[in-house]
């Protein structure tokens, strides 16, 4: 403990394109109530899901630079599009600060369920933004891990570009999200997957309407609770857990106006968002050369 006398008091950094990652923040806060969190929502560039991989990478680099300057002890990429596009770069920049990203734990959550089943052949569905789906990162990671465990997998993806705007509008239930889910999930229903990965941090908010459009036997998984477990384990292993009786703080930073964020976050989460700090992201961009 003495060695890390300063480090363990440092905050955990989390980032997302906007408010979707608050679902991951909530899971982390539940599991690690004594930790302090710095959450960065890149509302100035939101949504990431229709931006190019190159662009999302540039945004992720800038935010990583900002979080490292806040001396975070762990970075959680709480956005599937950013994880799919920029995880390796963020890891390289942040080293030796550890980095967790949602794609890995979405994959892990799916394989845990499959591991309990008796079948020999398994079908996994992946729902994501256009950029996440076209990156094929879920397909790739599922294949690698399934091979390691000698599991035979069939995989089908579906891009659901309107899910994130719907979630941000608070349209989580009712006829409109139901019809949109039916449109996106028609082929997925026919595929009859054993597990479907909710591959965007907004999608857990639409869990009910998504479940309605899939066979009853299909299980839905997301990365939030596994990534929170893994974060706890990792901090324990590195002796970086904050050991104090008081609850930690949550500081929310946004690259667009605080008002926008507060309005959206209040609608979004069962968590009061009082103080949102505005950050001019340009100041954290890499300099030329």
Chain positions contacting its own copies, by CB under 8 A: 43-46, 50-52, 54-55, 161-162, 165-166, 168-169, 171, 175-176, 179-180, 183, 256-257, 259-260, 282, 285
Residue carrying the six token digits 């679902």: 23
Residue that has been written with the tokens 């597990």 in this structure: 195
Give the three-state DSSP class for 277: strand
C-beta of 119 vs 257, nearer to its own copies: 257
Which residues does residue 159 pair with via DSSP β-bridges, in sequence order?
128
Cβ distance to its own copies smaller for residue 44 or 72: 44
122 has which bridge partners? 153
Q: Please say if 160 is a catalytic residue.
A: no
Angle value at C-alpha 84, between 78 and 85, nearest 5 degrees: 105
Beta strands in the chain (DSSP E): 12-16, 37-41, 74-77, 99-101, 121-128, 152-159, 195-198, 219-221, 250-254, 276-278
In the complex, minimum distance from the CB of residue 272 to its own copies, in angstroms, rounded to a whole number:
22
Question: For its own copies, which is the closer residue by CB, 154 or 285?
Answer: 285
CB 40 to its own copies: min, Å: 16
| Residue ranges in 192-242 assigned as alpha helix (H) | 207-212, 224-237
Name the nearest CA neighbour of 93 among 64, 130, 129.
64
- Shortest Cβ distance from residue 200 to its own copies (Å)? 14
State which residue, 71 or 136, has the beta carbon closest to its own copies. Answer: 136
Contact 200, 135 (CB under 8 A): no
Of the residues 38, 67, 79, 226, only one is catalytic, namely 79
Residue whose token pair is 């964020």: 261
Buried/exposed code over 155-191 (b: 16+ C-beta within 10 A; e: otherwise):
bbbbbbbbbbebbbeebbeeeebbebbeebbeebeeb
Least Å distance, CB 219 to its own copies, is: 27
In the bound state with its own copies, the residue whose beta carbon lies nearer, of 169 and 208, is: 169
The least CB distance from residue 172 to its own copies, in Å, is 13
**200, 206, 241, 281: the active-site residue:** 200
Instruction: CB nearer to its own copies: give 179 or 192.
Output: 179
Cβ 173 to its own copies, closest distance in Å? 13
Crossing angle (nearest 10°) for helices 80-94 and 137-148: 70
What are φ and ψ of residue 60, in 5° steps?
A: -65, -40
Structure tokens given for 57:
């990478």
The catalytic site residues sit at 79, 200
């Amino acid at each position: 403990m003495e060695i890390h006398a300063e480090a363990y008091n440092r905050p955990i950094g989390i980032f997302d394109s906007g408010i979707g990652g608050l679902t991951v923040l909530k899971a982390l806060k539940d599991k690690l109530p004594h930790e302090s969190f710095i959450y960065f929502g890149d509302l100035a560039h939101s949504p990431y899901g229709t931006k190019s991989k190159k662009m999302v990478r540039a945004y992720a680099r800038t935010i990583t630079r900002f979080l490292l300057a806040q001396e975070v002890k762990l970075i959680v990429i709480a956005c599937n599009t950013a994880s799919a596009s920029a995880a390796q770069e963020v890891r390289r920049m942040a080293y030796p600060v550890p980095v967790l990203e949602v794609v890995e734990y979405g994959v892990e959550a799916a394989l845990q369920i499959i591991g309990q089943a008796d079948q020999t052949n398994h079908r996994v569905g992946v729902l994501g933004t256009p950029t996440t789906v076209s990156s094929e990162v879920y397909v790739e990671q599922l294949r690698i891990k399934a091979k390691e465990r000698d599991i035979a997998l069939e995989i089908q993806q579906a891009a659901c570009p309107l899910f994130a705007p719907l979630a941000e509008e608070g349209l989580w239930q009712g006829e409109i999200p139901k019809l949109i889910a039916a449109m996106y999930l028609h082929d997925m229903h026919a595929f009859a997957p054993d597990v479907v990965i909710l591959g965007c941090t907004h999608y857990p908010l639409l869990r009910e309407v998504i479940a309605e459009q899939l066979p009853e036997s299909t299980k839905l998984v997301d990365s939030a609770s596994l990534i929170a477990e893994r974060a706890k384990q990792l901090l324990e292993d590195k002796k970086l857990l904050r050991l104090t009786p008081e609850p930690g703080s949550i500081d929310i930073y946004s690259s667009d106006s605080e008002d926008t964020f507060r309005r959206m976050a209040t609608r979004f989460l069962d968590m009061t968002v009082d103080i949102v700090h505005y950050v001019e992201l340009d100041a954290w961009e890499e300099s030329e050369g």
